[in-house]
Amino acid sequence: NESPIKWIDMTTQIMNRTYDIAIAYQITFYDSVFIACAESVEANLISANVKHQGKYSGVVKIKSLL
Q: Please give the model's pTM, rounded to 2 decimal places.
A: 0.74
Q: What is the DSSP string of 15-32?
A: HHHHHHHHHHHT--HHHH
37-54 pLDDT, tens digit per residue, is 988 988 877 777 766 666
Q: Is the pLDDT of residue 17 over 90?
A: yes
Q: Is the pLDDT of residue 66 over 60?
A: no
